[in-house]
Structure 1
Amino acid sequence: MNDGAVAYRDLSYRTRWVTYEFLQDSWKMFNAINVAEKNAGEPGARMVIAAGFRVRGRASGNKDVAIQFKDIVTKYSTGKLTLERALGAASQVRSSFDIIPKLQGNFAFTKAYVAEQGGKSEGFKGPNIYVDLSLFKVPAPEWLHIGKPFKWENQRLNLEATFAQLLSLPHGREVVSTADGPIEGGPEGVRSGIEVARVLAGDDDVLRALRNASKPD
């Protein structure tokens, strides 16, 4: 991005460690960039970490392209378009996905971008790091060092979240046991992907809700 950078990660339905690993990586990147910025006499960068759903892969974009081509062929075969106009229309067809499909239809990216653009007037001041608290259980774990939480919303885009400045992030790793054997966990208080999804969707049976939402009319 112009004068910025984006990092993204799909969370795990099974373990909260992936969530915490992304937070750790984000914390390391933020500090590395800001050390370099300050050494260069620059004011430093601001980071916003947000959670959200996204459209996965290129399937949706390819389906949309196929529909557009089919429409052009139909109009040409029925005489509604000349060959010249049909070829011109076909040359303008574009997939809804660009060079980085994981950032297209990505509501976490949209939320983080719009929130960061709000700047100081919306609670995101200075070269600090802010985190979407939907990534953590309520109440927030005692080991999490954050500033005072604040509500943020953008009514035009129907986006909302509770953010807080991330002051520091301890490092740790643990192994938890399940019926399937040991899996990598993460510090208590961090949410796994399915737990985050339930909060964002406001539905405990979020997988069923998402399947129903993706079905064609």
Structure 2
Amino acid sequence: MAKTAKGSMRKVEIACVAWIDLLGYGSQISESGFNPAHESAAAAIHRLDRFHTAVSEKANRYFPTLAMNDGVIAYRDLSPRAHSVTYDFLRRSIDLFHHVNNVDQNELSHPGARLVIAPGFRVRRVHSFEQHLNDGKGKLIKTKLREGTITPEQAINEALKARQYFDAVPELQGNFALTRAYLADESGSKAGLGGPNCFVDLSLFSSTLPDWITFSETIDWESRGMQAQFGRLAGINHEAAGRVQSEGILSAFDIAKTLSNDHEIEAKLRQERFRIVR
């Protein structure tokens, strides 16, 4: 978790989200009447399984993902000190896009997936999920372990399978990068964001785009009070980016300045903090 001072965390982060979804999946499954037991649904269900497997192959601690049926969210807080974090998320997102489309188009002969990458503010939320687990299922497991009715291995297995009755991904709550990416994807072809393409919010870059990434076109987009300019990815040269240490992509606070017309946004982001009580 990015800190601004010892014993504190920013109340507002700058996050980046990649939203990827399978094209035409809704109409594909609707042909079966949304009945997964119908024989015509087999291809759609297999497609969804392969999609989730493909995403899981690219997910890791620096690139966590959340699957929501035929859509997947990848997310990460950006660093105010290192633009390399922004580049790393961009690189991983584009790699995911190519991997998913290789599976969906080349292996399964389906239409492919669209990816939208966008930054935005994220309001840090304080959740007590750990306390809920310790007071609920966790308490029961620890009691059984003390009483000797289960072995340590059984206790670990039960803990790994424990699920909460209410759950959420804290990093995706109050996350307006997610709002931005989702709305852009939802706009689709009518807004110029169609097809199995990768669209990148140009707010991630300096006013002069770096030479190591190219876009076939730029699209001005607006929805529900949000405005952005997206580039349709043509190519990215990671070797060239490495030679210049990914110069041209922005760190968190510089991105915040492109997202807000508040001239004091950086100072406000630095000042607003949670105190950590241990």
TM-score scaled by structure 1? 0.71
Of the three residues 254, 261, 269, the one matched with 1:202 is: 261
Q: In the TM superposition, what is the alpha-carbon distance from 1:168 to its structure 2 partner? A: 1.4
Map of 1:71 onto structure 2? none
Letter in 2 for 1:41: S
Aligned position for 1:52: 120
Deviations 1:126-182 (A, max 9, x none): 00100000000012122221122121011xx3111110101111114659xxxxxxx
Higher strand share: 2
The 2-side partners of 1:118 and 1:199 are apart by: 22
Amino acid at match of 2:257: R
* Letter matched to residue 180 of structure 2: K
Tell me which amino acid in the other structure corresponds to 1:164: G
Distance 1:54 1:204 in 2: 19
Match 1:33 to one of 93, 97, 100:
100
Q: Say whether the 8 Å CA contact 2:205–2:250 is kept in structure 1.
A: yes
Structure 1 gaps of 5+ residues are 63-96, 176-184
Q: 1:187 aligns with which of 222, 233, 246?
A: 246
TM-score (norm 2): 0.56
**Residue number in structure 1 paired with 2:86:** 19
Q: Distance in 1 between matches of 2:233 and 2:242?
A: 22
Q: Check the 8 A contact 1:153/1:161 in 2, yes or no.
A: yes
Count of aligned pairs: 169
Q: Give the fraction of aligned pairs with identical amino acids, expressed as a percent.
A: 42
Question: Counterparts of 1:132 and 1:98 in 2: how far apart (Å)?
Answer: 30
User: How far is 1:41 from its partner?
Assistant: 1.1
Q: Report the RMSD for the aligned CA atoms in angstroms.
A: 2.5
Q: CA deviation at 1:214?
A: 8.5
Tell me what 1:109 maps to.
178
Moved over 2 A (4+): 172-175, 202-205, 207-215
1:208–1:168 Cα change, 3 Å: same
SS at match of 2:101: helix
Partner residue of 1:161 out of 217, 225, 228: 228
Unaligned segments of structure 2, at least 5 residues = 1-67, 130-165
The 10-residue stretch of structure 1 (112-121 or 200-209) with the greater mean CA deviation from structure 2: 200-209
